[in-house]
Every structure is written in structure tokens, then in C-alpha cells.
Amino acid sequence: MQSSKHCQETATCVIVLEGLKLSHHYEFVKPNDIRALNLMNAAAKHTLHVLPDIILSYGHSDEYSFVFHKSCSLFERRSAKLASTVVSTFTSAYVHLWPKFLASPPPPGTFLSRATRDDAPGDQTGTETVPSPTTTPPTDLDVSYLPTFDARCIAYPSTSNLRDYLSWRQADCHINNLYNTTFWALVLRGGMSNTEAEEFLKGTLSSDKNEILWSRFGINYNNELEIFRKGSVVFRKYALVDPSARDDARGEESSAADKGNETGDEKDISKTQKEKMKKARQKAEIVVEHVDVIKDEFWLRRPWLFSGKPGKPAMEVTR
């Protein structure tokens, strides 16, 4: 909530980060640089580790969203404090981890270096001369192009609204990535200029872009990495719940997960219990997955995301 000093107590608070465009200066691989995406994910994991009040985050490209439960009382829910703490924590981790992820060249098999398929159908004009970088991309941060992120705080009154927002974010990831993949295929492997590719794609549907990728370049978009197509979801790992045992397909507050002791209402929880919950969150493994958050299964199997309380520890598999 940009216009409010506090995030409403009844609402879920989401911090949205957007990054300054650095891809051109640092010569990121187009359309996706797996190193840069992994760096974003590592910074997000660090942010969740430092701030156990965050229950989940979702990111793609240069944007990340961090979700606080509606019961969160961190900084008395002052939006300015929440946003500034998240953005500074994320940015410091991003800068610190930059050399770890960007000091090495792109891994083989990326879009730019992918071998041309001899059996690909249709016209492959331009794919024989896929350009390769002629210079070593800069890996050290340039003081004139330091990574920066801006943040805003948004309050969603219900879990249904929150799910709609995250569903929109993931749908946006797919739409943008399909366009970018097709655009850069036409430029890097089809010999078009940026302007020509943009004009060529005007008015095309998703089905048209899929056909262009396959017929011209032998690229099956569905085989692109899920991190590119679905984005990244970062959360604490607990034991999964059997979806058949739950009936809250849309995760509404009226469901069993949002009633009684599962409401996550910390007003009725003692200080000792709060500390135990905090320690449980800190001990939990933070994972990054590239999964569908639009369908119900992700939420039904992870009810702790809406309850605001830690779930049951995941069983460790020993061999």
C-alpha cells in the first residue's frame, strides 16, 4: 500500500521489487541468462533466511514479490519499514553474491550457444551463423552500473486476492518469456534486426509464436527450462499434505486452514510460542522451485502458507 503508513492488519502484505535494467551493460545472455536468474533466486533465499516473517516469494526476470502473512507484526506493519528492509536485504545479497554467479561464462546449452538442429522443419535462415560473444562480458560490477531495486508495499484483503495476484505474475512470466524467446530467436538465429523482429511479431498470438519457434528454428517452447516458463517460487519446506484431505480449493479464509488454531492470529499466542514458531521457521530448509502456482495443488499441499504457522518438518530420506 503506497498511500498508507501501515499495512492493514486484516491484509496480506506483499513487497514487490523491480530491478534496474543491467542486462545490456553486463551482456546477459538473451533471452534468459540462467546465471542472473540463479543470482536473483539466491538473493531471495537469503532474504527469507534473514526475515522469517516472509512466508513465500515469487520472481521472474528482474522482479520479485515477498509475501508477509496477515498476522505478521514485524515493524508494527509499517509499510515503509517493511519495504525498505526487504529491498536493502535483497540488494545487499545480490551485490555480494554477484561474483559467485556472474564471474563465469554462460553454461553450454544456453539459447545463444544451442546447437542448430539438422532435422528441424521449415526455414532455418540465419541459424547457421549464430553469433558468439566476441569479447569477454564484464563480470566485475561497474560503479556506474550498480544493481539497484525499488520496492512498493501492497495489501491484499484475502488469500483469494493474493492467489489471483501470484497467478497473474506467473501468467505474465509465461507471456513475456514466450515473446522474448521468439523475438531473440528471430534476431540471434534468424538474422532480423530488433525493429524487424518487433514488427514481425505484432499481432501474433501464443500459438503463432510457438509455430514460429518450431517451424523456423526447431525449438519446442515446452522444452524450455521451467525456470524460464514458470518463474521461481521460494518458500520453507515442510511435510506435504494430502490434497484430498482438504476442501479449500481457492484457499478462502472460511476454509479449515484459516479457522481456529490455524488462523495464524498471533494476538492469542504467547511470547514463548511466537519464539518457537520463529525458530521453527529459521530451521526449515528454504527451497526454490519452478512450479505452477495457478492451480490449486500447490496451495492445498502446503496449508502452512495460509495459516502463517510452520508446518510439520519434512521427513529426511536416508540411504
3-state helix, strand, coil split of the chain in percent (to 5) is 45, 15, 45
What pLDDT is stored for residue 124 in this prediction? Answer: 37
Q: What are the grid coordinates assigned to 247, written together?
A: 476442501
By the 10 Å C-beta count (0-12 exposed, 13-18 middle, 19+ buried), 203 is classed as exposed
Per-residue pLDDT of the chain (319 residues; tens, 9 = 90+): 333 467 776 567 777 777 667 888 888 888 999 999 999 999 999 999 999 999 999 999 999 999 998 888 899 999 999 999 999 999 999 999 999 998 878 776 556 544 333 334 444 333 333 344 444 555 688 888 899 898 999 999 899 999 999 999 999 999 999 999 999 999 999 999 999 999 999 999 999 999 999 999 999 999 999 999 999 999 999 989 887 765 544 444 434 334 433 444 555 566 777 777 777 777 889 999 999 999 999 999 999 898 878 888 876 533 3
pLDDT at residue 138, as a whole number: 59
CB neighbour list of residue 2: distance below 8 Å, 6 or more residues apart: 79, 152, 153, 154
Q: What is the dihedral of CA 130, 136, 141, 144, to 10 degrees?
A: -80
Please spell the DSSP secondary structure of 264-284, one letter per residue: --GGGS-HHHHHHHHHHHHHS
Measured CA distances, 241 to 20, 193, 238, 284, 288 (Å): 39, 50, 9, 16, 19
Query: How confident is the model at residue 249, as a pLDDT?
Result: 42
Yes or no: say if 246 and 259 are a contact pair by the CB < 8 Å rule: no
CA pair distance 161, 317, nearest whole angstrom: 36
Task: Give the model's pLDDT for residue 116.
Answer: 39
What's the whole-model pTM score?
A: 0.82
Query: Checking DSSP bridges between strand 54-60 and strand 232-236, what pairing results, if any?
Result: antiparallel
- Where do we find the cell 514458531? 277
pLDDT of residue 257: 38
- So what's the pLDDT on residue 89? 96
pLDDT at 109: 56
pLDDT recorded at residue 111? 60
Nearest to 233 by CA among 169, 181, 174: 169
Cα Rg of the chain, angstroms: 22
What are φ and ψ of residue 53, in 5° steps?
-70, -20
pLDDT on residue 262: 41
